[in-house]
A and B are shown apart, each in its own frame.
Chain A
Amino acid sequence: MRLSREGRQGLTLISPTLAYALVMLAAPLTMVVTFSFWTQNYLDLDTTLTLDNYREAWGTPIYQVLLLRSLKISLIVTFVTVLLAFPVAYFLSFKVKRRKALWLFLITIPFWTSYLLRVFLWKVILGYNGVLNSALMGMGFIDEPMTFLLYNLNAVVLTLAHAWAPFAILPIFVALEKIDRSLLEAAEDLGDGKIRQFFRVTLPLAMPGVVASTLIVLIPTIGDFITPKLVGGTDGLMIANMIQIQFGKANNAPLGAALAITSMLVVASISVVIFLAGKKFGGKVE
């Protein structure tokens, strides 16, 4: 293969990153894929290739339930997060005239504490003797602590949506910033009021940002296992918790690998669908 000078320069520039990505991403991935076709025999691995793990992963009700629940939770989280992120990004981009950088800075403040700490904070807020219950009882709105706050699906959604909000705001903000404001004036000039301008110009042009936000939130939340474990209770458990159990306590790495690959394929296909839908709705943007 002959490369142009520029091509070689480019390759040289990215090669450390490329090597790192190969080692840290491709190698473990290959391992997991290989694992998923093997079988665990108590202490040693049977390396004959088999599809048994996939049969079990796809056929057993508990795994189906967990996978569907994970999907449901992450879709809800994504929907809620992006829906809440959009107005914030819109406000930042269109209404804030000065000190935008300061506002962006404020948005990232929650990230100064670790993810784990933030999950625990929600536990403190939502718990039986938590801040919310104590406050409401103190003010006399309720007589005894509410139990539906923590250890269920809602708590998982709330915690994850909060954790991912800034990640969702930034891509949308960037997309909105890139919109040439004279396009909105052109739309107004051609007869559109504010609402039509939004749906015919702003939203389609913000679509790449919305799609990016959606994927950025959706993909990692499906695989999250800390939040469900800490605030999810039993009906808040997700597929990633099961994968963790298979690799750990259950000592069935091949089945865990098959579950991981399965959820990866599901995420990938959903992402492709979202990407294409966004492209269709947003039209062809350079």
Chain B
Amino acid sequence: MTGKDPRAIIRMQDVTKFFGSFQALKGITTTINEGEFFSLLGPSGCGKTTLLRMIAGFDEPTDGAIYIGDEPMAGIPANQRPTNMVFQSYAIFPHLNVADNVGYGLKRKRMSRAEIAAEVEKSLAMVDLAGYGKRAAHELSGGQRQRVALARALVMRPKVVLLDEPLSALDKKLREQMQVELRQLQQSIGITFILVTHDQEEALIMSDRIAVMFEGQIEQVATPEQLYRHPVSRRVASFIGVMTLLDARATAQPGNTVRVDIPALGTVDLPAARVPEGIDLAKVEKIGVHPEMLTILQDEHETAERVVEAEVASRSYYGDMTYYSVLLPGANAPATISMRNTFGRSVIDPGAKVKVGWGQDSIILFK
């Protein structure tokens, strides 16, 4: 969704927050573009909600500045900001029906009843709840409450919609469905969404860009693919998906390449593009490998860039996939390998000796 010339809609400059002597945010500086689906991802307590609430205006930064569309937000209360929030608990007014909930914010604007009703209906249709206006709040299912909360925010035509873990209260199936729907809706209306989540899969599925936070700081801002393929640190990597860590040594080579020596796999030369900027090669002790970046070769004809001998220690069968724990020679802990159970492939029993294929692309170097 980011156009050729992405225009910043939100800018944060050294945003810091203290709760008493506890520092919840330690200098957040980042930019969110217009029309972007931006996620704040991080473990519990890292300050995601705190940051979102300061964008919404429920809290003021201790230090630093937040700009929305070039306007500094300091001192502007939540009810005067061009943002609307979808609360984690949805905060549906229990004493109002669906239409009155959605139209709540419009009553303040100079609009006739008929205009409000039309806007409400349009907004309900957008979230697939056309005709639900007369329903009482307590007659809604979890998914419907979530949609009402979204319609109530969208009807205000905000510059930015803020969502604090909006799907965490839904069951798995509904959550997956809503992830896709929410993403499609955001793309069709083109409003900037900022999503707070601690679910890495959700962030990967929905976002244009993701900011990964730890302990009040942003560690990496990247597209889902960049983030998954090139996490800058072990912390980020361990938070995004499953990853095996293997002992390694790295040394600079002439021609800007880096030689990585991994006892469990072998030695490989990585081109400059695969090496994170500002890395201190002397400090590299581990490299990371995603489960799908190793493969178990099953017959003679299958080949790979590089091959090592290994032994299957255990397996977890998921139907479409099997996750193997494999003992690589010289490694002190098993590596995880995921295999699709596609045609021509059988599930391998623990104890079997196998050939494991890997390549230069399998290796992830961290800062």
Contact A186 B95 (CB under 8 A): no
In A155-207, the 8 Å CB interface with B consists of 180, 182-183, 185-193, 196, 200-201, 204-205
Q: Which residues of B contact A205 (CB under 8 A)?
A: 94-95
- Minimal Cβ-Cβ distance residue in A for B53: A185
Q: Is the CB of A180 within 8 A of B105?
A: no
Is A285 among interface residues, defined by CB-CB distance under 8 A? yes
**Bound CA–CA A182/B83 (angstroms):** 16
Is A143 located at the chain interface by the 8 A CB criterion? no
Q: Which residues of A contact B80 (CB under 8 A)?
A: 191
The total number of A-B Cβ pairs within 8 Å is 67
Are A186 and B94 touching (Cβ within 8 A)?
no
> Does A286 have its Cβ within 8 Å of any Cβ on chain B?
yes
**Chain A residue with minimal CB distance to B96?**
A283
Q: Is the interface of A mostly helix, strand, loop or mixed?
A: helix
Knowing A190-B105, A192-B108 are in contact, say whether A284-B95 is a contact too (CB < 8 A).
yes
Is B156 positioned at the interface, with any CB of A under 8 Å from its CB? yes
Contact partner of A189 among B79, B93, B94, CB < 8 A?
Answer: B79
In the bound complex, residues from chain A placing their C-beta under 8 Å from that of B239 are none
A189→B78 contact, CB < 8 A? yes
Contact B96 A185 (CB under 8 A): no
Write the nearest CB–CB distance from A194 to chain B, whole angstroms: 9
B91 touches A186 (CB 8 A): yes
Q: How far is the CA of A67 from the CA of B261 in the complex (A)?
A: 99
Contact residues in B for A185 (Cβ distance below 8 Å)? 58, 78, 85, 87, 91
Query: Is B104 on the interface with A (CB-CB < 8 A)?
Result: yes
CB nearest neighbor in A for B164: A182
Q: A130-160 vs B: 1/0 string, CB under 8 Å?
A: 0000000000000000000000000000000
Q: Smallest CB-CB separation from B83: which chain A residue?
A: A189
A250 to chain B, nearest CB (A): 50
Are the C-beta atoms of A187 and B104 separated by less than 8 Å?
yes
Known: A201-B93, A282-B95, A284-B95. A186 touches B136 (CB 8 A): no
Which one, B79, B93, B137, contacts A188 given CB within 8 A?
B79
Task: Tell whether B260 is near chain A: CB-to-CB under 8 Å.
Answer: no
CB of A161 to closest CB in B, whole Å: 29
Asked whether B157 is an interface residue with its Cβ less than 8 Å from the other chain, the reply is: no
Distance to closest chain A CB from B131 (angstroms): 19
- Chain B: interface residue total (CB-CB under 8 A): 27
Closest to A286 in B: B138
Chain A positions within 8 Å of B72 at CB level: none
Asked if B91 contacts A192 (CB within 8 A), the reply is no
Q: Mark B48-68, 1 if CB is under 8 A from A, else 0.
A: 000000001010000000000
Tell me, rounded to whole Å, the shortest Cβ–Cβ distance linking B132 to chain A. 16
- Contacts of B271 on A, CB cut-off 8 Å? none
Q: Are A186 and B77 in contact (CB under 8 A)?
A: no
Q: Which residues of A contact B88 (CB under 8 A)?
A: 182
**Do A189 and B85 contact each other (CB < 8 Å), given the known contacts A284-B136, A286-B138?**
yes
Name the residue among B108, B109, B138, B153 with the largest chain A CB count within 10 angstroms.
Answer: B108
Q: For residues 157 through 210 of chain B, which have their beta carbon under 8 Å from a beta carbon of chain A? A: none
Set of chain B residues within 8 Å of A196, measured between Cβ atoms: 108
A183 with B138: CB separation less than 8 A: no
> Are B91 and A183 closer than 8 Å at their CB atoms?
yes
B93 CB to nearest chain A CB (Å): 6
Beta-carbon contact of A186 and B85 below 8 Å? yes
Tell me the complex Cα distance, A193–B76, Å. 12
Residues of B within 8 A of A192 (CB): 79, 108
In the complex with contacts A284-B95, A284-B136, A286-B94, A186-B87 CB distance below 8 A: yes
Residues of chain A within 8 A of B138, CB atoms compared: 284, 286
B89 on the interface (CB 8 Å rule)? yes
What is the CA–CA distance of A180 and B91 in the complex, to the nearest angstrom?
8
Measured CB to CB, the closest approach of chain A to B80, in angstroms, equals 8
Give the chain A neighbours of B104 by CB distance below 8 A: 187, 190, 200
Q: In the complex, what residue of chain B is closest to A185 when comparing beta carbons?
A: B58
Q: Are B93 and A183 neighbours in the complex by a CB distance under 8 Å?
A: yes
CA distance A283 to B56 in the complex (A): 29
List chain B residues, Cβ under 8 A from A204: 95
Query: In whole Å, how far is B4's beta carbon from the nearest beta carbon of chain A?
Result: 33
Which chain B residues border A282 with CB–CB below 8 Å?
95
Question: Across the interface, which residues of B come within 8 angstroms of A193, CB to CB?
Answer: 77, 79
Q: In the assembled complex, which residues on chain A have CB atoms less than 8 Å from the CB atom of B95?
A: 204-205, 282-285
**Contact assessment for A180 and B108 in the assembled complex, using a CB-CB cutoff below 8 Å:** no
- Residue of chain A at shortest CB distance from B100: A283
Q: By the criterion CB–CB under 8 Å, are B84 and A189 in contact?
A: yes
Contact yes or no, A190 B87, CB < 8 A = no
A285: chain B residues within 8 A (beta carbon): 94-95
Which residue of the partner chain B has the closest CB to A190?
B105
Q: How far is the CA of A284 from the CA of B136 in the complex (A)?
A: 8
The minimal Cβ–Cβ distance linking A66 to chain B, given in whole angstroms, is: 40
B60 to chain A, nearest CB (A): 14
Given A182-B91, A205-B94, also A190-B152 (CB < 8 A): yes
Tell me the nearest residue of chain A to B78, going by C-beta. Answer: A188
User: Which residues from chain A sit less than 8 Å from chain B, CB to CB?
Assistant: 180, 182-183, 185-193, 196, 200-201, 204-205, 282-286
Known: A189-B58, A189-B83, A190-B104. 17 other contacts (CB 8 A): A180-B91, A183-B93, A185-B85, A186-B85, A186-B87, A186-B93, A188-B77, A189-B79, A189-B84, A190-B79, A190-B108, A191-B105, A191-B109, A192-B79, A196-B108, A283-B95, A285-B95
7 contacting pairs across A/B (C-beta < 8 A): A180-B91, A183-B94, A185-B78, A186-B91, A191-B109, A201-B93, A204-B95
A-B pairs, 8 with minimum CB distance: A190-B105, A283-B95, A186-B91, A182-B91, A191-B108, A286-B138, A204-B95, A188-B78
